[in-house]
Every structure is written in structure tokens, then in C-alpha cells.
């Protein structure tokens, strides 16, 4: 089942909600040699973290705006423009809010060292933040390509390829009852009573099967939907899947508590 993402860069929001406070703390470590953990520290650290959130939100909005204007197909232009825009806007917001908070709290401008040292460190963090967004984009692009290749492969493939001596034969999916692990091999069972011993793993076999037809019940069995008659509940959230009696496969196959919900959704949706 495909998981819907909440944003094109998910999980950037929960990631940076955690990462920004860490960045603020790390900046304190780099900037101050002697930090006193008192009420003033809590106040300034909280204020800097909130300023960091404001700058990150601006950066995120710029990236989403650039997504509508310039695609990553024009990689150099997109990345350079993104890094320059987000860094400039982010540093401006941080500088403005730092000066404003300094005037309100202390009644004077921020210390000149803020522009000589602190701002340089913050600029490096913006490079890091942009790199995360670029990596997330290309990860989802790669993931989408992999899914498309798999879907196309499943559409074109009408059966599972097995070896018979020196020949290769494609066993139609509808003729396959299931697969089981036997010693060092995976065994394919057909409705005609044939068995093929495959020198592979059950994990690899699962990637080559249409997910709407086959389900991997546990570490030992993959079963065709047309061989499953139902399921019953066991203790601790486990279930037992019933398989047609005339099959060479076991009539009852246990499914773990963690996998049971996925099986129920699959079985009821495709039933």
C-alpha cells in the first residue's frame, strides 16, 4: 500500500522541529566558552530557537515557491538560486529579529561579533538545510522511479520465471498456489502439483510478484489470494490464515501480530 506524504518534502516539518533546537544549542557551544545554565540562558536559547524557526519557515516557503517556478531538471540554476535566495532571506530574518529582540530586551543593538562570527556559522547551517531539502527531493524522485519500474514490470509480467533443466519457463501467476522455504531453497507450488526449487530468497521472490495477487504471510510462506479461504483470530493479536484443503501447503498458516493488520486490509480490499 502506498503511503501518502503530507508534503512534497515530508518529513521535513517534524525533522526541523527537532533539528532547529539542536542547531541553536550547537551554536551556543561554538560561540560561548562558558555557558551558565540559568534563567537568562533559558530565555535567550528559547528566543534564538524561535528566531531559527521563523527563518526556516521562510526558507521552506521559498523552496516550495521555486518548485512552481524552476524544476530540478535545470539543476545548476535551481540549486544555486535556491541556496542564494534562502541564505540571503534567512540571514536577513535572523539579523532583523536578533536586532529587534536586542533593542527590546537590552535597549541596544546586537554586539558586532554577531556579524563577524555568529552569522557566518548560521550561513553554514543554511547550506546544510538546503542540502537536506535537495536530498529529500531526489530520494522521492528515485523512489517514484523504482515504483514505476516495478509496476511496469508487473504489468508486463504474466507469470513467474523458473528453470527446467537448461530451459526457462514462465509459470502463470494464476497457476501458482504459493511459495515456501524448504532448507536452502524456496519451493514454488503449482495447482497442477508441480514443484520448482528456486535458488533465491523469499524476500526476492516477493518483489517479483503482483501485490494484489500474493501476500507474504510470514518468513516461510507466500500464498496466492485464490488459495486463501479466510482467517481466524488467535491470542495476542495474531491470526491464522486458512488455505484450501486440497493444497500441498498447510491448511492453517500463522501470521504475526505486526503483520496481521496489513493482511486484513489486503484480504478485505481484494476479496
Residue pLDDT, tens place only, 105-146: 888 888 777 777 788 888 899 999 999 999 999 988 887 766
| pTM of the predicted structure, to 2 decimals | 0.53
Question: For residues 9 and 136, what is the distance between their CA atoms, to the nearest angstrom?
Answer: 6
Domains and CATH numbers, the chain: 12-154 (no CATH), 159-270 (2.40.50.1020)
* pLDDT at position 151: 63
Give the three-state DSSP class for 271.
Answer: coil
Burial of 146 (0-12, 13-18, 19+ CB in 10 A): exposed
Angle between helices 12-31 and 39-69 (to 10 degrees): 130
pLDDT band at 5 (very low <50, low <70, confident <90, very high): low
* pLDDT at position 167: 84
Angle at 89 between CA 139 and CA 141, to 5 degrees: 10
* pLDDT at position 15: 92
* pLDDT at position 3: 44
pLDDT digits (tens, 9 = 90+) for 163-175: 887 888 889 999 9
What mean pLDDT comes out for the span 2-24?
A: 81
Q: Are strands 185-190 and 195-198 parallel, antiparallel or unpaired?
A: antiparallel
Question: For residues 234 and 257, what is the distance between their CA atoms, to the nearest angstrom?
Answer: 9
* pLDDT at position 37: 77
Amino acid at each position: 500500500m502506498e503511503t501518502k506524504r503530507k508534503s512534497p518534502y515530508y518529513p521535513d516539518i517534524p525533522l526541523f522541529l527537532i533539528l532547529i533546537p539542536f542547531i541553536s544549542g550547537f551554536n551556543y557551544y561554538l560561540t560561548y566558552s562558558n555557558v551558565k545554565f540559568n534563567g537568562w540562558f533559558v530565555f535567550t536559547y528559547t528566543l534564538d530557537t524561535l528566531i531559527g524557526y521563523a527563518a526556516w519557515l521562510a526558507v521552506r516557503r521559498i523552496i516550495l515557491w521555486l518548485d512552481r517556478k524552476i524544476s530540478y531538471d535545470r539543476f545548476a540554476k535551481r540549486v544555486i538560486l535556491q541556496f542564494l535566495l534562502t541564505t540571503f532571506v534567512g540571514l536577513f530574518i535572523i539579523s532583523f529579529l536578533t536586532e529587534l529582540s536586542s533593542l527590546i530586551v537590552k535597549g541596544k543593538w546586537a554586539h558586532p561579533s554577531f556579524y563577524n562570527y555568529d552569522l557566518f556559522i548560521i550561513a553554514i547551517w543554511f547550506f546544510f538545510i538546503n542540502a537536506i531539502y535537495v536530498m529529500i527531493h531526489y530520494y522521492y524522485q528515485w523512489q517514484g522511479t523504482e515504483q514505476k519500474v516495478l509496476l511496469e514490470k508487473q504489468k508486463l509480467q504474466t507469470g513467474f520465471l523458473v528453470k527446467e533443466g537448461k530451459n526457462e519457463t514462465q509459470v502463470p501467476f494464476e497457476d501458482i498456489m504459493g511459495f515456501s522455504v524448504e532448507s536452502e531453497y524456496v519451493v514454488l507450488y503449482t495447482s497442477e502439483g508441480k514443484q520448482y526449487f528456486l535458488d533465491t530468497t523469499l524476500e526476492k521472490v516477493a518483489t517479483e510478484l503482483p501485490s494484489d495477487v500474493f501476500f507474504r504471510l510470514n518468513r516461510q510462506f507466500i500464498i496466492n489470494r485464490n488459495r486463501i479461504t479466510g482467517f481466524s483470530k488467535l491470542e495476542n493479536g495474531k491470526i491464522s490464515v486458512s488455505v484450501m484443503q486440497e493444497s500441498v501447503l498447510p491448511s492453517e498458516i500463522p501470521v504475526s501480530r505486526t503483520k496481521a493488520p496489513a493482511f486484513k486490509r489486503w484480504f478485505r480490499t481484494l476479496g
